[in-house]
Chains A and B, each alone.
Chain A
Amino acid sequence: MDVLESLRMAWRSIGSHRLRSALTLLGVVIGVGAVVTFVVLGASLEEAVVGELTTGQSPAMTVFTQPEGSDGFGGFDGGQVVFTERDVEEIRAIQGVETVVPEGTVSLSGVTYANQTVGLPALTATTPAYFEEVGQQNYSVGGPFERGQAQVVLNDAAASVFAANVSVGDTIQIRRDGGEIVTATVVGVLEPPPDTAFGPSAADLPRVYGPIDPFVEPSIESPTTGDRQRVYSRLTVVAVDYGSVDDVSDRVSAYLETDSDARQLLPGSYETVVQTNEQFVQQIQTVLNRFTGFVTAIALISLLVGAVGIANIMLVSVTERTREIGIMKAVGFQNRDVLQLFLVEAVVLGLFGAMLGLLVGALAGYGVTQWLDLPFVLPLTWGAVAIVVGIVVGVVAGLYPAWSAARIDPIEALRYE
């Protein structure tokens, strides 16, 4: 019997048991729909989190030190101050490096403006590139400081920490830990940072930025060159593009572990770390993949329920149609014709269930992502996967009932009431 004829007969059979077929279909729709919804949710959540983390990011990596055996995310304690000016220059010369932004922390006892002193603990000494490459912040007023000038840039929080708001052109007194007072001109105020998915960011804390010169003095002799150099606790290395981040990261690590001043200056219990954003994103992605795996597992259970539903209905159908199967065999239908007929019926149910489930799942996924204010991502391959899964579910669920139908003895079947 040709497949088209089987399809016609299967369609007739499905149509003549509308309620039963609809309930079977519902089982598959719920199964496939759940899979698609959860997958959409997982993909959308991933897109949102990764997107949030990488917004305005540059292909940068952070170089810092941490006690040996720490598991990433280190360096928040400031680490050791070991990266010399020579290291900065050497790294800048490495192939694929766009720029290197050094960061030094200058301890303060406070900042005074209009006779009001506020106890800000530290000033970040860096280069103007810092705001583009590291902070990802724009100026609300003013612009960057100049090297060699007693100038500072305040973030929005620092500008508003005083009773009288500080603005560009005002002079503030920077009180260093040693008692030295530096009078500096405010040349820029940064925009407040956007809200993130994780609530207010660390950038909301009041912070003062100044140029390396004059805020960081040469303090340590370079073990290589022997002259006194400025040293930094943290470097941001910017690669020319995202594709070269891995290679640059390897080269920087190699330099730090072999020829660097940092290696010689670093206490034995510390190590240098080159952490790329990509590593961070990958860590997040690993977590999200686990999340997607978990929800997919739940969805697959739903799909299994759908498959059991099809198998159940098909078995009932075989029993109900025993006499018809007997008639068919009596008039010349082969076992494989009967097998094919029931299998096609199961596949049709699985296929339609999968297509409807895909639609329902996509709509449900869209609804939930809108509700959670996430970007809607429907991985297209899942459309094809859902349909293939529908067919597979149909075949697997229909195989045993179809096989038992094909094995029915026509004499017994014709006697069946």
Chain B
Amino acid sequence: MSGSTETGAGGAADVAVSVRAVDRTYQLAQPVHALRDVSFDLPRGSYTAVMGPSGSGKSTLMNLIGCLDTPTAGRLVVNERDVTRLSERERTRLRGEEIGFVFQTFNLMPRLTALQNVALPMVARDASRSERTERARHLLEQVGLGDRLDHLPNELSGGQRQRVAIARALVNDPTLLLADEPTGNVDTKTGDTIMRLFSELHAAGNTLLVVTHERRIGEHADRILHLLDGRLERIEVVESPRRPAVEAPIDDDPEGN
């Protein structure tokens, strides 16, 4: 990856994401300020939740950190690279190789099997077919879907689809995992399974950012960022995260890289 830029803010190596005075304004009929003057850091290996009512800017924040969008003003550094200075091509590459996405609506490719869906991000970076299949199978086994490899999304339950989506998010071994309402479309019990999976990922050393409007889900994290009308209202430290005991952290990197 070219264009590496030091953050200059704190110990760069310990910070996965640095947000500094970020604005995001949409030029519609009237300018809409989706985010205003937002600043915070996500330490490496941290587990953070973002909460706020509808329209508070949660999704905009996630799109910015996920390099799907760029700030109108301010500075955004992801994995020591200043996103505002990257070309679209470089941002796409950063997104594909270092960031994993989990969406509320799963966003699986309807005509691809579970295995093909999980392997999709590896196609983008030209991994060999055997490498892709091996890695996708391993991850699907890790999320408990070893027996659903050849199923199409419409043959899977909501919880299973979300687990496929999580496996896909992990396939390129990202350092940052972003989840937008990951339990929004599943029942409570399945939601608990998903959150257990996130806890395992956190225990394995991943940096997690989970957007939610459910306090119960938000309390799994170490910190909760409260957004209101596009501003960061406060940062709440969760005294005792509601985390299930993790017996065996998920091994999403069997090679130990």
Chain A residues in contact with chain B, CB under 8 A? 1-2, 5, 9, 12-13, 16, 323-324, 326-335, 337, 410-411, 414
Contacts and interface: CB of A to CB of B under 8 A. Distances in A.
B68 A330 contact: yes
Interface in B50-94: 63, 66, 68-69, 88-89, 92-93
A330 B214 CA distance: 25
B245 interface: no
B154 to A, nearest CB: 13
Nearest to B98: A332
B17 to A, nearest CB: 17
B68 A334 contact: no
Contacts of A328: 109, 120, 124
Contacts of A16: 111
A1 B124 contact: yes
Contacts of A324: 109-110
B107 A332 contact: no
Given A329-B68, A331-B101, 15 more contacts: A2-B126, A323-B107, A327-B109, A327-B120, A328-B109, A328-B120, A331-B95, A331-B120, A332-B92, A332-B121, A333-B123, A334-B92, A335-B92, A410-B68, A414-B103
A317 to B, nearest CB: 12
A12 B107 contact: no
A329 B66 CA distance: 12
Contacts of A335: 88-89, 92
B230 interface: no
Nearest to B112: A12
Interface string B104-135: 00011111100000001101111000000000
Contact of B97 (A332, A411, A414): A332
B33 to A, nearest CB: 17
A2 B128 CA distance: 10
Given A16-B111, A327-B109, A411 B121 contact: no
Contacts of B69: 411
A328 B66 CA distance: 14
B84 to A, nearest CB: 17
Contacts of A331: 95-96, 101, 120-121, 124, 168
8 contacts: A324-B109, A328-B109, A328-B120, A330-B66, A331-B120, A332-B92, A333-B124, A334-B124
A330 B123 contact: no
B172 interface: yes
A72 to B, nearest CB: 67
Contact of B124 (A12, A337, A414): A337
Nearest to A4: B129
Contacts of B111: 12-13, 16
Nearest to A323: B107
Given A1-B123, A323-B107, A332 B63 contact: no
A14 to B, nearest CB: 11
A1 B126 contact: yes
Interface of B: 63, 66, 68-69, 88-89, 92-93, 95-97, 101, 103, 107-112, 120-121, 123-126, 168, 172
A5 to B, nearest CB: 6
Contacts of B120: 327-328, 331
Contact of A330 (B93, B95, B125): B95
B125 A332 contact: yes
Nearest to B107: A327
Contacts of B96: 331-333
Contacts of B101: 330-331
A78 to B, nearest CB: 81
6 A-B pairs with least C-beta separation: A332-B96, A332-B124, A331-B121, A333-B124, A16-B111, A327-B107
A16 B124 CA distance: 21
A16 to B, nearest CB: 5
Contacts of A13: 111
A2 B127 CA distance: 10
A329 B112 CA distance: 16
A414 to B, nearest CB: 6
Nearest to B96: A332
Contacts of B103: 414
Given A327-B107, A411-B63, A411-B69, A332 B126 contact: no
Nearest to B66: A330
Scoring B63, B96, B111, B123 by chain A CB atoms within 10 A of each residue's CB, the highest score goes to B123
Given A12-B111, A337-B124, A332 B172 contact: yes
A411 B112 CA distance: 21
A332 B109 contact: no
A51 to B, nearest CB: 55
A252 to B, nearest CB: 73
Contacts of B110: 324
A16 B126 CA distance: 24
Nearest to B171: A331
A255 to B, nearest CB: 77
Nearest to B121: A331
A328 B124 CA distance: 8
A337 B124 CA distance: 8
Nearest to A16: B111
A410 B125 CA distance: 18
Given A1-B123, A332-B125, A414 B107 contact: yes
A2 B126 CA distance: 7
Contacts of B172: 332
Contacts of B109: 324, 327-328
A276 to B, nearest CB: 65
A331 B66 CA distance: 10
Nearest to A326: B107
B126 A334 contact: no
Contacts of A411: 63, 68-69
Scoring B69, B92, B112, B125 by chain A CB atoms within 10 A of each residue's CB, the highest score goes to B92
A329 B123 contact: no
Contacts of B66: 330
Contacts of A1: 123-124, 126
A330 B107 contact: yes
A335 B95 CA distance: 13
